[in-house]
Amino acid sequence: MNHGIRSGYPNRFGRRMVLLGGTAIVLPSSAARVANAQDTYPDKPVRVTVSYGPGGAIDVIARILAEHMTSTLGKPVLVDNKPGAGSTIAAEAIARSAPDGYSVLVTGMAHSVIPELFPQVTFDPIKSFQPISHLGIMPFVLAVHPSVPATDFASFITYMKANPNTINCGSAGPGSSADLGQMLLAKRTGIEFVRVPYRSTPAAMNDLVAGRVGFMMDSQNVLVPHVKGGALKAFAVSSLERSRLLPDVPTLDELGLNGFEAGSWQAMLAPANTPRPIVAKLSASIEAAVTDPAIRSRYIELGYQLPRKVGPEALAEFLAIEAAKWGPLAKATGTG
């Protein structure tokens, strides 16, 4: 008598029976194992990869939400930073990750213009990812170093036009939300400047405060403390409404750039083919966070705007709108 594995066949419950040592053992099918994994998700830490360095608007919101998600999901939600190459290093890492919900991406506007700026990448910014949720928006402030001889927005534009390509402007690199916002400012006003890329917004800000960069239009949470401390001058904000952090500073829309609106938005994506039940759990944990009064207060305190809608469908629609808005500008201005 053969006491090894003699045969295996599916039964009507979608499981496989084998005879081991003459005893029938029922093994779950692969579909059943996948379903079980979805039911128990998460049973280990979830890792969030941020496409920019520590301290910027995208990183800050990822860490605020990760802390809250840890409590709702019941497992640690850890944050890693993988800056560089216009956000594509982090995006490629997640695109190649297993679609099991344990590796997700938090990124921003640069993701919507990858085809225009980095056509050589090995992933598709839409097809390689599963949207989870929009996370928020951080409007910009136009902050200028005191060495630039201007006292307000009008005199700043006059000086820039009289001295084209002599003032440095910092950002977190080509395709970043600040870089695109600054290029939109250039297009709308006719100014010309030298684009200086950095690995993160805080790194660019350090050179702005030191005077090696003349101006930036970037995240309020990074620049406003230096404005209030007197190290920088604020000439405008990029939202359609005035900022709670700088209520006396006019919007660019008020200053004659009708409809001007730009900011650093944040979104969470998973690898394509992540199971819908796992997507739903991640999305629900984000919704629980942004509806928590303590998190909402934290958003307001730092100058973030809450997402207008959460969930994968709303994010997919938002990404399509952003790609249409910023793609042509990214293609026209390039990566220089």
Q: Is 90 exceeded by the pLDDT of residue 192?
A: yes
The values of phi and psi at residue 288, to 5°, are -60, -35
Q: Which of 120, 103, 132, 106 is nearest to 42 (CA)?
A: 103
Q: Is 50 exceeded by the pLDDT of residue 224?
A: yes
Residue 219 belongs to some domain of the structure: yes
% of the chain beyond a pLDDT of 90: 82
pLDDT at site 37? 61
The CA distance from 160 to 134, in Å, is: 36
Average pLDDT, the chain: 90
Question: How many helices and strands, by DSSP H and E, does the chain display?
Answer: 11, 12
The CA distance from 122 to 88, in Å, is: 10
Residue 65 belongs to some domain of the structure: yes
Which CATH number fits the domain that encloses residue 81? 3.40.190.150
pLDDT at site 333? 80
| Rounded average pLDDT over 285-302 | 96
Residue 117 belongs to some domain of the structure: yes
Residue 243 belongs to some domain of the structure: no
Q: Strand, coil or helix: what is 8?
A: strand
Residue 8 belongs to some domain of the structure: yes
pLDDT at site 39? 81
How confident is the model over 154-164, as pLDDT tens digits?
999 999 999 99
pLDDT at site 29? 55
Q: Is 70 exceeded by the pLDDT of residue 211?
A: yes
Are 54 and 11 members of one domain?
Answer: no
pLDDT category, 26, cuts 50, 70, 90? low
pLDDT at site 332? 87
Are 13 and 61 members of one domain?
Answer: no
Longest dimension (CA), the chain: 96
Are 124 and 270 members of one domain?
Answer: yes
Domains identified in the chain, total number: 3
Are 197 and 51 members of one domain?
Answer: no
pLDDT category, 6, cuts 50, 70, 90? very low
How confident is the model over 307-333, as pLDDT tens digits?
989 999 999 999 999 999 999 999 988
Q: Is 60 exceeded by the pLDDT of residue 182?
A: yes
Q: Which of 21-35, 84-98, 220-234 has the lowest mean pLDDT?
A: 21-35
Are 77 and 119 members of one domain?
Answer: yes
Residue 282 belongs to some domain of the structure: yes
Are 303 and 276 members of one domain?
Answer: yes
Give me the half-sphere count of Cα atoms (radius 13 Å) on the Cβ side of residue 84: 6
pLDDT at site 200? 87
Q: Which of 171, 118, 185 is nearest to 327 (CA)?
A: 118
| Rounded average pLDDT over 47-58 | 94
How confident is the model over 257-285, as pLDDT tens digits?
999 999 999 999 999 999 999 999 999 99
Are 18 and 57 members of one domain?
Answer: no
Residue 250 belongs to some domain of the structure: no
How confident is the model over 104-160, as pLDDT tens digits?
999 999 999 999 999 999 999 999 999 999 999 999 999 999 999 999 999 999 999
The CA distance from 127 to 157, in Å, is: 41
| Conformational region of residue 213, where left means phi above 0, alpha means psi within -120 to 50, and beta covers everything else | beta
Residue 242 belongs to some domain of the structure: no
pLDDT at site 173? 86
Those residues whose C-beta lies under 8 Å from the C-beta of residue 332, and which sit 6 or more positions away, are none
Q: Is 90 exceeded by the pLDDT of residue 290?
A: yes
The values of phi and psi at residue 7, to 5°, are -165, 160
Are 78 and 113 members of one domain?
Answer: yes
The CA distance from 201 to 145, in Å, is: 16
Are 19 and 161 members of one domain?
Answer: no
| Rounded average pLDDT over 199-211 | 94
Domain containing 1 equals 1-30
